[in-house]
Chain A
Amino acid sequence: MDSTLTVRAQRTIAYGFLFFILISMATPFVWMISNTFKEQYEIFQLRPTLIPEEPHLRNYVRLFAEFDFQKHFLNSAFIAVVHTASHLFLASLAGFAFAKYSFPLKDFLFLVLLGSMMVPLYTIFIPLFVLVIRLGLVDSYAGVILPGVAGAFGIFFMKQSMEAVPGELLDSARIDGASEFRIYWQIALPLVRPALAVLAVLAFMTSWNDFVWPLVVLRSRELQTLPVVMAGMQGMYRMEHGVVMAASLLSTLPILLLFLALQKQFLAGLTVGAVKS
């Protein structure tokens, strides 16, 4: 009797604590959503309201009419899609080579690849910017995408799953006269589709949420991405919180929908680094 009581008490405390943290973590989301339907004065009035007193869509209308939200949304989407597609191609191709061929210097080259992940972004930040200027890539999407497109992590990740592709399958294709590239493209790639989905989700989210690099590379306003434009709204003389929250919500939505659709891939992708160690 005593011990069941303790278990029940323990369970109550555990659930209580978890729900307390969950509600704390949900509050900023709820506050964001609620405020997108409010006027500025209602956001900051003495008594906060969960349900807006006079809900309206003016913040959303202004976001599209005054801040060209749709343009910046498409800019972000374009960069993220190009980044994701090129990253998947380069990472899977290199991962395939590391997993399925033996060649001189392979171990050394792979070590270099792993070591490249140690280079801190901010150490190379200023010279990288100088380089991008010299290459004439400043204020272009190429300048945003190119430096980060062949990430070592993606190659490492694809190598792991390419190793599971049976070698006999590749050999029989060779006997049929298929070129090595075709073997990669038509046999190996379809077999690692689940891993590609995981990497795609990660790459898309990284690019979509990226802030610092697009901030320095993209100069003209019409090219800028969502996070850069949103950060700029904060610096304005009078920050329109309702409009900014509408932007925050709409900019989070694609990733949120992607997460709900591909939950398993998301969670697998984000813990893959931990599992490898």
Chain B
Amino acid sequence: MSSASIVEDRGLRAWWSRSQRKVLPYVFISPFYILFIVFSVGPLIYALYLSLHRWPGSGPMRHVGLGNYTYLAGDPVFLKSLWNTVYYAIGAFLFILPLALLLALLINSTLIRIKSLFRIGFFLPILTSTVAATLIFLMIFNNQFGLINQGLTLLGIPPVKWLDEELVKISVLAVATWRYTGINVLYFLTGLQSIPPDLYEAAQVDGAGAWAQFRYVTIPQLRPIALFVGVVTMIGSFQFFAEPLILANGGPNDASLTIANYLYRMGFTNAKLGYGASIGWVLALIIFGLSFIQLYLFGAFRKED
């Protein structure tokens, strides 16, 4: 009896020592896939199902087909939030990224010696939470007594209503500029520093001036990092949430509302879960579409070289 169990034990052990290297890798990676299926794939599919229904979060669901989507196409608040989100994205591409590139080029240039002061100084704002950052800017943009208006008053200029309908998007963009410029400076610097110096030397030998070097060496060499920064910025812009919510609660009159803010309002405040889910799917399609376009454009450019 006891000897038999020893033999069996040996057999099991031998089997285990032979096959553990085949089995264990799957065990090691399984937590990710289990959590991914439960907390991402499942909800993604469930979101699609929900988006075809009307559901206040409890009780029976009512199938409405594509009703939520057709309603969405004519919903003025959704269209406004879509436009606001596009506005923020354009602002990021036209203002934050060029500023970050300019700062990175300056820091990287031979003109500047104390590089780390600027690199670290520009970077510090991203360490704050979006909540803390936006709360600080509430005091700066206060319609009457904010820091900027205090400064304007001292100069004899009447206070500007930074958080009113006309200017609130600019103010939100200012918060975003403060918080996200530094990280993009860091990305661009990484790209600039990975350009092999002999490319510049070769260009100099060919008689290229500073502008020609920038145009024909720096810009093409920055392409991979620019693609990365572009995709990250686009995805981030379309998921913009906390800054407009805390600075102006999406208002006034929905002037600062983003798609993510509207989704949250529908799903959690108004208990229209099906409608909220359809906003989520439209958002996903926009993000996938724009990512694809960005990748395609950059890939196509590459073939021309």
Contact = CB atoms under 8 A, between A and B. Distances in A.
B139 A241 contact: yes
Contacts of A78: none
Interface string B125-160: 111111111011111101011010011011000000
B24 interface: yes
Interface in A230-274: 230-231, 233-235, 239, 241, 244-245, 247-248, 251-252, 255-256, 259, 263, 267, 270-271, 273-274
Nearest to B238: A120
B122 A25 contact: yes
Interface stretch (A41-49, A52-60, A65-73): A41-49
A64 interface: no
Nearest to B284: A123
Contacts of B142: 44
A119 B24 contact: no
Contacts of B112: 11, 14-15, 18
A90 interface: yes
A211 to B, nearest CB: 5
Contacts of A46: 145, 150, 153-154
B32 A150 contact: yes
Contacts of B46: 127, 130-131
Interface stretch (B72-80, B89-97, B101-109, B199-207): B101-109
A149 interface: yes
B28 A94 contact: yes
Contacts, number: 263
Nearest to A41: B145
Interface residues of B, number: 100
Contact of B36 (A116, A180, A252): A116
B32 A103 contact: no
A195 B186 CA distance: 19
B127 A255 contact: yes
Interface of B is mostly: helix
The 4 closest A-B pairs by CB, nearest first: A44-B145, A209-B129, A97-B28, A248-B132
B191 interface: yes
Interface of B: 20-22, 24-26, 28-29, 31-33, 35-36, 38-40, 42-44, 46-47, 50, 57, 99, 103, 106-107, 109, 111-112, 117-133, 135-140, 142, 144-145, 147, 150-151, 153-154, 178, 181-183, 186-187, 190-191, 194, 224-225, 227-229, 232, 235, 238-239, 241-242, 245-246, 249, 259-260, 263-264, 267-268, 273, 276-277, 280-281, 283-284, 287-288, 291
A110 to B, nearest CB: 9
A172 interface: no
Nearest to B28: A97
A271 B128 contact: no
Interface string A10-36: 110011011001100111110110010
Contacts of A131: 38-39, 42-43, 46
Nearest to A8: B111
A109 interface: yes
Given A120-B235, A241-B139, A97 B153 contact: no
Contacts of A231: 131, 135, 242, 245-246
Nearest to B131: A227
Nearest to A154: B32
Contacts of B154: 46-47
A198 interface: no
Given A147-B39, A181-B24, A130 B287 contact: no
A125 B281 CA distance: 11
A100 to B, nearest CB: 8
Given A123-B283, A208-B129, A274-B187, A146 B224 contact: no
Nearest to A92: B28
Nearest to A233: B135
Contact of A126 (B21, B194, B276): B276
A5 interface: no
Contacts of B245: 231
27 contacts: A21-B99, A21-B122, A22-B122, A26-B121, A27-B147, A44-B144, A44-B145, A97-B26, A123-B280, A124-B44, A125-B276, A126-B267, A126-B276, A130-B57, A146-B39, A152-B36, A155-B29, A180-B20, A211-B129, A230-B131, A231-B246, A233-B135, A234-B135, A241-B139, A273-B232, A277-B227, A277-B228
Nearest to B49: A127
Contacts of A263: 120
Interface in A90-117: 90, 93-94, 96-98, 101, 103, 106, 109, 112-113, 116
Contact of B25 (A27, A97, A129, A248): A97
Contact of B135 (A25, A44, A179, A230): A230
A118 interface: yes
B242 A120 contact: no
Contact of A127 (B106, B121, B277): B277
B39 A212 contact: no
